[in-house]
Amino acid sequence: MSAEIINGRAISDELLMGLKAQIENLRTQHHVTPCLAVVLVGERPDSLSYVTNKDRVAQQIGMASRPVKLPSTATQDEILRAVQELNADIKVHGILVQMPLPSHVDAETVMAAIDPAKDVDGFHDVNVGKLHKGKKDGFTPCTPMGCMVLLHRVLPNLKGKRAVVIGRSNIVGKPMAYLLQEANATVTLAHSGTHDLASVVAEHDIVIAAIGKPEFVKANFIKPKDAIIIDVGINRIERDGKPKLVGDVDFAAVSEKAAFITPVPGGVGPMTIWGLMDNTVKAACAAHNITRAR
């Protein structure tokens, strides 16, 4: 048996077209153009490529984008000043500071400086609190938000299902576990301290891998036949002398055993970008008191 591929790129493209129409409507009916500011500190090639990608998608859907580039030597105060200027700018609706920041900068302090109403990454304490209290006016982190859409495409009702999230980071694992339980799945949150991970994972219908280790989840981790695998990992490796992008799941082997699986690339990655754009439209509507059309 070979698993059905959950095509994140196609689903993201479809959802982005819907956002494009919403943005056009905001522009023509309300004279509002949602604007996303992306702050990049330094020139890490991976960060540069993520930022370029976000900028390209924003432009494709008619969103305004405001790239802010600072040198890797920028001080914490300089970064905070840039964030405060964006907070104060009424034309900017969403602010994202690309992580990781250089080691001399305290990322928590920078995240805390972003106006929660513009925190489209959903990392600010206020938005984390809102998510955990089930309040709908905050921002959900983009990657877990995208994963939930992918899951719902193949399984609209998660009630009674057992889901395991491998990884407990603040940006992926923890909010993912929260969203799954909100959707009535029974959730296990696994991490590096989990004993006999393979046996634990094999008890679950849904597996979310967010570990950061190339092809770590093997076929023996997977419940046969009906498991759904969402692979969040993005790992750059070299194979046969060539650079290659792989997930946290051993795709070739696991797709022989599971029912559904996301590929890397083309799975969760494009959905994260959709989540960011969706949150920015949400922020623009909230800032201008506009009820969001769906």
Answer yes or no whether residue 228 interacts with ligand NDP by CB under 6 A. Answer: no
Answer yes or no whether residue 165 interacts with ligand NDP by CB under 6 A. Answer: no
Nearer to ligand NDP, 34 or 275 (CB): 275
Q: Which of these ranges, 78-86, 116-124, 155-163, 187-195, lies near ligand NDP under the rule CB under 6 A?
A: 187-195
**CA dist 285 → 31, 60, 125, 171 (Å):** 11, 19, 22, 24
Answer yes or no whether residue 172 interacts with ligand NDP by CB under 6 A. Answer: yes
Answer yes or no whether residue 190 interacts with ligand NDP by CB under 6 A. Answer: yes
- 58, 64 Cβ separation under 8 angstroms: yes
Q: Supply the minimum distance, in Å, between the C-beta of residue 249 and ligand NDP.
A: 11
Angle at 20 between CA 15 and CA 25, to 5 degrees: 125
Largest CA distance in the chain: 56
Q: Which of these ranges, 73-81, 120-128, 148-156, 267-275, lies near ligand NDP under the rule CB under 6 A?
A: 267-275
- 67, 51 Cβ separation under 8 angstroms: yes
**CA dist 49 → 55, 140, 171, 283 (Å):** 10, 23, 19, 24
φ/ψ region of 122 (left if φ > 0, alpha if ψ in -120 to 50, else beta) reads: left
Binder of ligand NDP out of 210, 230, 254, 281 (CB under 6 A): 210
Neighbours of 56 (CB within 10 A): 11
Answer yes or no whether residue 25 interacts with ligand NDP by CB under 6 A. Answer: no
**CA dist 21 → 89, 183, 213, 267 (Å):** 25, 28, 38, 23
Answer yes or no whether residue 18 interacts with ligand NDP by CB under 6 A. Answer: no
**Three-state secondary structure string covering 6-21:** CCHHHHHHHHHHHHHH
Answer yes or no whether residue 177 interacts with ligand NDP by CB under 6 A. Answer: no
Per annotation, catalytic residue among 118, 119, 121, 130: 121
Nearer to ligand NDP, 93 or 174 (CB): 174
Per annotation, catalytic residue among 22, 54, 130, 250: 54
- Three-state DSSP at 65 gives strand
- Residue the block writes with tokens 């992306």: 38
Answer yes or no whether residue 181 interacts with ligand NDP by CB under 6 A. Answer: no
Answer yes or no whether residue 143 interacts with ligand NDP by CB under 6 A. Answer: yes
Residue sitting closest to ligand NDP (CB): 169
Answer yes or no whether residue 194 interacts with ligand NDP by CB under 6 A. Answer: yes
Neighbours of 294 (CB within 10 A): 5
Nearer to ligand NDP, 185 or 246 (CB): 246
Answer yes or no whether residue 38 interacts with ligand NDP by CB under 6 A. Answer: no
Q: Indicate if 121 belongs to the active site.
A: yes
Q: Which of these ranges, 35-43, 58-66, 132-140, 228-236, lies near ligand NDP under the rule CB under 6 A?
A: 228-236
238: tokens are 């070299």
Binder of ligand NDP out of 200, 235, 256, 266 (CB under 6 A): 235
As annotated, the active-site residues are 54, 98, 121
Binding site for ligand NDP (CB under 6 A): 143, 166-169, 171-173, 190-194, 197, 210-213, 232-235, 248, 268-269, 272
